[in-house]
Structures are given as structure tokens and as C-alpha cells.
Amino acid sequence: MIKSNIVLDGNYLLMKNVFILKKLRALSDLQMLLERDYDKITRSFPFDNIYFVSDSRESNWRKQVYKEYKGKRKKDIDIDWDFVFETYDNFKEIIKTKRNNKLLEFPGLEGDDFIAHIITTSNKKGYSNILVASDGDLQQLLDYDINNNYINVQWNYRFSDERLYLPENYQLFLDSINNSESTDIFSLDNSSDFSNYIENLINRTKIKSIIKEQLLFEKIVQGDNSDNIPSIIKIKDGKLNPEGRGIGESGAKSVYKLYKEIHPEAIDIHSDIFLSRLMEVILYYKKIKNAEQDMKDQIIKNIIFNRMLITLDSKYLPVHINENLNNHFDIIDNQKIEIINENLEKKLEEEDFFTEEKTDIAENFRVEEPSNADFNPDDFWEL
């Protein structure tokens, strides 16, 4: 039996539709398009839970730690953003009333933090997750576990050019649930239905398998231009310099390959050993010999900094932020609609609903009641 969640990145759905409608000069249709997307996605499979996750419009903890976080992003001045966010707020109020929907948004938290929490906690309970988003950072959450019977995939839902990101060797998981399908015709096992759902997504989209270890490693090394997070090292004239040359995408791939040649075992991103090993590999890659201790220390500090901002793991959240996340998630995840069982018949009896009231009709409105013998049903249908 497969248990599954759909997790929607609300900001992705919003921005996707805003820029589509801008090109069409039809921004007034924003709410209609959001509702259509929501209904189409959430009805694509009978998910156990629907999580709609939204960024808070207040400053988040990463911005407080690093003022330059996402500092290069600029709003399109040709878009009426007041209308956009007013429409988005109205839309969120509407979907709060939807069946199985759980809307998560809290001051100081990014949607990515909630998404990571949903996926890691639900995986422990054996839930698979279909993540509807485009953010590459979220691909570090893609994984599967045959024993715990779950898989996480990311669906970049669009009108065209749809993409699906899957964990490396994902077919092993699909094969395992297909092979383990119960032969009992009375079984409620939905494994084949879920497998068919994933296969249909694969067949209609462009797919890419993700090695999450490599993806996270390379992001830490090169930083993230879209979030304005710098590379862990920038060198000019043989010295560390913020204006110097860093490590880009292709360089990060080379560093990962070099690291794995020296240390072929699985990488523990969270360990101190990883910090010292990566620092040494970076110096070798940059051909820096006899580096002073200050340079080594600074590179390690940069690795720790990038790891904190990029890695989606609760251990890197500030304590009070993590507490807020857990408390708010528990409230929303456990909320139930209270159903009051009421004896309707008894209530109607108390209100004398079944008591026949005799009303005297004025003489000029009285008619003779027709005899049953005068009524022919066949004649009625010929009228």
C-alpha cells in the first residue's frame, strides 16, 4: 500500500502564472488560472494529504543571517504587484476550505523549510511525495527507500515543456512496488495505481535523475547565483579576494569528481571530516601550495556558511525558527474538521415538524380533490 502526499510550492505556481499572463496581457485572469492549476494537480491522483506551502512576505531567517541573500532579484515594474499579492491572498483563503488541504505559511520561514520538513517527517511514516516546484535547491530532497516504501519526485508542472526530476535509480523502486503487488482481488493495495501515475508523468515530461549527494556538494562549492550566495573560494593574485575568481558550475563538477577519486565512500555533508577534506581538495584544485592557516580557516568558514544557507535540514535552522516551524506544522497537520452528530429526527420532533397542521382554506380557493380512478398515468406522458 502506497501512502502519498502532493506538496505544492505556492510561490512557484503564482510566479509561473503571473509571467504567463503578463505575456498575454491578461493578468486579471490570475485567480482563475491559479484555481485551475490547483484543481488539475490535486485531482491527478487520490493523495492522502495536500500541502500548499507559501513563503512569508516578512523577512526570513536567511535574510537576517545574510543581508545579501537574494539581493540581486528585482521586481518587474510592468506588473501590478499589489493586485498580484491581493489575488494570491484571496486564492489562499479559498483553498483553505478544500478537502485534505493544509496550507503552511509562517513569519520568518521560507517555503523551502516547510517543504523539507514535510518530506523528511512524512518519509519516516512511509509517505511518498510528489513535489510541484521548480527550485533546484529542493532536488536535494529527492530520494527513495524500498524498505520504507516511499519515493520523492519533483514535478515542474507547466503548460508545456514539463520536467520531472527523479532520484537516481528510481526504476528500482517502481519495479519493487510492481513486483510486490498483492494478488488478492479484495486487497486495497494501490501500488500499481501509484506506479502507473509516476510512469504517466515520466512519459509526458522531460526527465532527469538526480544524485542528491552530488547536487548538494556542488551547490555548496559554487554557491547559488539566484540566491546571491557566493562560491566558497574567490582567488585573485593567489590570495582570497571577494572580487576574485570563484568556482562555477563546471568547476564544482570537477571538484566533486576529484573529491570522490580521493574519498570514494558516501559523503557525510554534515561532518567535520567533510569540511577539512573539501578544504584540502579546493586548495589542490586551485593549485594553491603552502596555504597559510588563515586561508584554510577562511575556506572552512565559507563551507560552513554555504552549507547552512543551502542545505535543507532542520539542524541548520536557528533554534527559535525550528521551534516555530515544528509547532506551526503540528497545528496545521493535525487540524480536523469537527463533525457534530445530531439526531435530526429527534430535533424535528421537538420542533413539532411532524405534527399536522389543519388550516382552513377560504371558500373561494377550495377545489374538489380528484378521484384516483380519474387519473391515467399513460395519458400524463402523452401531454
Instruction: Say whether both 223 and 204 belong to one domain.
Output: no
The domain boundary, picked from 210, 232, 263, lies at 210
- Write the CA distances from 231 to 58, 243, 257, 263, 316, integer angstroms: 27, 11, 17, 22, 19
| pLDDT(134) > 60 | yes
Q: Check whether residue 35 and residue 157 sit in a common domain.
A: yes
Distance CA 269, CA 102 (A): 32
* CB atoms closer than 10 angstroms to residue 31: 15
- Does 257 score more than 50 pLDDT? yes
Q: Would you say residue 335 lies in a domain?
A: no
Tell me the CA distances in angstroms from 372 to 368, 369, 383, one per residue in order: 12, 9, 18
In order of 336, 346, 358, the CA distances from 350 in angstroms are 30, 6, 19
Q: Does 182 map to a domain?
A: yes
Q: Are residues 7 and 134 in the same domain?
A: yes
Give yes or no: residues 91 and 129 share one domain.
Answer: yes
Do 196 and 231 lie in a common domain?
no
State whether 24 and 54 are in the same domain.
yes
| Residues 56 and 148 reside in one and the same domain | yes
- pLDDT above 90 (res 357): no
Q: Is residue 339 part of a domain?
A: no
Please check the confidence at residue 122 and state whether its pLDDT lies above 80.
Answer: yes
Average pLDDT score, the chain:
87
Report how far residue 281's alpha carbon sits from residue 296's, in angstroms, rounded to the nearest whole number.
11
What is the C-alpha to C-alpha distance for residues 155 and 165, in angstroms, rounded to an integer?
Answer: 7
Query: Which ranges constitute the DSSP H helices of the chain?
Result: 10-24, 30-42, 61-65, 81-95, 111-124, 170-179, 191-204, 212-222, 249-262, 272-285, 293-310, 319-333, 344-350, 377-381
**Same structural domain, 166 and 52:** yes
- Residue 224, SS3? strand
The number of folded domains in the chain is: 3
DSSP secondary structure string for all residues of 282-348: HHHHTT--S--HHHHHHHHHHHHHHHHHH---GGGS-HHHHHHHHHHHHHHHT---------HHHHH
Residue 115 lies in a domain: yes
Same domain, 164 and 65: yes
Q: How confident is the model at residue 276 (pLDDT cuts 50, 70, 90)?
A: very high
Asked if 111 and 66 sit in the same domain, the reply is yes
Report whether 71 contacts 65 (CB < 8 A).
Answer: no
Q: 203 and 221 share a domain?
A: no
Q: For the segment 166-202, what is each residue's pLDDT rounded down to a tens digit?
A: 999 999 999 998 886 554 555 557 898 999 999 999 9
Q: What is the dihedral of CA 83, 86, 90, 95, to 10 degrees?
A: 90
Maximal C-alpha separation, the chain: 116
C-alpha cell at position 9 = 510550492
- Identify whether 315 is part of a domain: no
Q: What percentage of the chain has pLDDT greater than the value 90?
A: 72
Q: Which three cell numbers stand for residue 32?
A: 482563475
CATH number at residue 197: 3.40.50.1010
Residues 91 and 86: their CA atoms lie apart, in Å, by 9
Using CA atoms, how far residue 201 sits from 14, 164, 228, 236, 311, in Å, is 22, 7, 33, 47, 27
Q: Does 40 fall in a domain?
A: yes
Residue 333 in domain: no
Instruction: Using CB atoms within 10 Å of the CB of residue 252, give its burial: 0 to 12 exposed, 13 to 18 middle, 19+ buried.
Output: buried
- Phi and psi torsions of 369, nearest 5°: -70, 130
Residues 21 and 153 in one domain: yes
Which of 156, 181, 210 finishes a domain?
210
pLDDT of 228 reads 92
Instruction: Report if residue 104 sits inside a domain.
Output: yes
Range of the domain at 219: 215-310
Residue pair 51/118 in contact (Cβ under 8 Å)? The answer is yes
Nearest 5°: the CA angle 332, 307, 271 is 100
pLDDT digits (tens, 9 = 90+) for 30-81: 999 999 999 999 999 999 999 999 998 888 999 999 999 988 878 888 899 9
Which residue, of 210, 245, 271, is where some domain finishes? Answer: 210
